[in-house]
Amino acid sequence: MVGREDEPVVEIDADAFPAPEAPDPPAQLLFGTVILTNEPSWGLFLERGQESGGALVLEVLPDTPASATGMQAGDVISWIDGMDVSNHEQLLVAFRDGDTPVHDMKVKKVDGSTVDVEAQLVPPDGFSLVNYLETKITTSPDPVTRYLLAEQVADDQRALDLIRSVIAEHPTFAEGHALLAKRLMDKVEASTGGSTGAEFLPSADIDELTTAIDTAVELEPNAPSIYRARSQIFLTLGDGASAEADASTALQMDDQSAETHYLLGTSRLTLGKYEDAIERLHLAVQLNPFEPKYYVNLALGYRSLGREPDAKATLGAAKTLVSDPLIKQRLDELADAGDGG
């Protein structure tokens, strides 16, 4: 574990951090390593969590607005619409926020120069990310493509086979080990039928994912994305204290990551540190107002402090961000739970 300084103790007003309002409906963009969906997109793969001074371009899709500007792998997007970019989340929020599909960016080119680029989101005409990756693997089975597909494919076993093949060829690929651990966690959760972390029994999968995530940390001790991944795994396993420690470490490395604040807030929520939890979760919503899970856990924090009107308002905001009827129903049930229903 990387050493870290303890955070200063700050008294927090329990009535601070009012319930956030829902943002205007955004264009849907996937988080993770890509800026691509079946909604307006631009055609870039991004490397997540790397210390590149911005959003590192992993690949540029052919025949897309991105390729038309001359973007190429290795470029780093460092600024968008007047805002410095230090991680991929900020870039994604900028693409999703605002009233125009056109965005001004500054890009650090692989040759060291900096250029101005205009990014205009356009409908991808039924583009399927998974189909694109599957096709590319058959023609050029490079490790990056297999890694990206392992992130996106729904089949846990297929994902595990893909990422294990990458690690076998590139054993020092830290993000690969982290992804292996996360997909193993997905498999374990699915096999337990919704059990809580405390109910997970020792298994070969648990042993493998523990080894994988610890290996990732050893290989990249200064990568905040790795600590975020391990924090999430600890949360799933019911270890709030370890989740808090890893999220705190990630925060020291990148304090503008909404996901880091979310993980730190969620871990503190599980530990009963409710005032501290809502501070972090509120900030996560401010940094990325389009992620429903941030609102849900913030609402739970409000409820734990007896702020039921704020909890209901926040769950209502989360409901505007989802389209799945089952998820909407679950949010309604959470809201009703505050009335004892």
**pTM of the prediction?**
0.75
Tell me the two tokens of residue 80. Answer: 């968008």
Q: How many other C-beta atoms can be found within 10 angstroms of the C-beta atom of residue 186?
A: 16
Each residue's pLDDT tens digit, 71-130: 887 788 888 888 888 776 777 777 766 566 678 889 888 888 999 988 776 655 666 777
pLDDT at 284 over 90: yes
pLDDT for residue 21: 82
What rounded mean pLDDT belongs to the chain? Answer: 79
Tell me the two tokens of residue 122. Answer: 């356009």
When the candidates are 1.20.1250.20, 3.60.20.10, 2.30.42.10, 3.30.70.141, the CATH number that belongs to 34-120 is 2.30.42.10
Helix (H, G, I), strand (E, B) or coil at 122: strand
Each residue's pLDDT tens digit, 30-82: 222 334 332 333 444 444 444 456 777 777 777 667 777 788 877 888 888 88
Query: In the chain, what are the domain boundaries?
Result: 34-120
| Cβ atoms of 77 and 91 closer than 8 Å | yes
pLDDT at 333 over 60: yes
Alpha-carbon distances, residue 247 vs 225, 235, 241 (angstroms): 10, 10, 10
Each residue's pLDDT tens digit, 160-212: 999 999 999 989 888 889 999 999 988 888 776 655 554 555 678 888 999 99
What is the rounded CA–CA span in Å between residue 41 and residue 28? 9
Residues 6+ apart with CB under 8 A from 81: 94, 98, 103, 104, 105
pLDDT for residue 3: 37
Each residue's pLDDT tens digit, 293-302: 999 999 999 9
The DSSP output letter for 199 is G
Each residue's pLDDT tens digit, 124-170: 566 677 787 888 888 877 787 888 888 888 888 999 999 999 999 98
Alpha-carbon distances, residue 287 vs 28, 48, 92, 262, 294 (angstroms): 17, 17, 11, 10, 10
| Cβ atoms of 264 and 240 closer than 8 Å | no
The better pLDDT of the pair 256, 22 is held by 256
Q: Please name which of 230, 224, 232 lies closest in space to residue 267, comparing C-alpha atoms.
A: 232
pLDDT for residue 265: 97
pLDDT for residue 1: 35
Strand partners, 57: 46
* Helices H / strands E in the chain, number of each: 14, 7
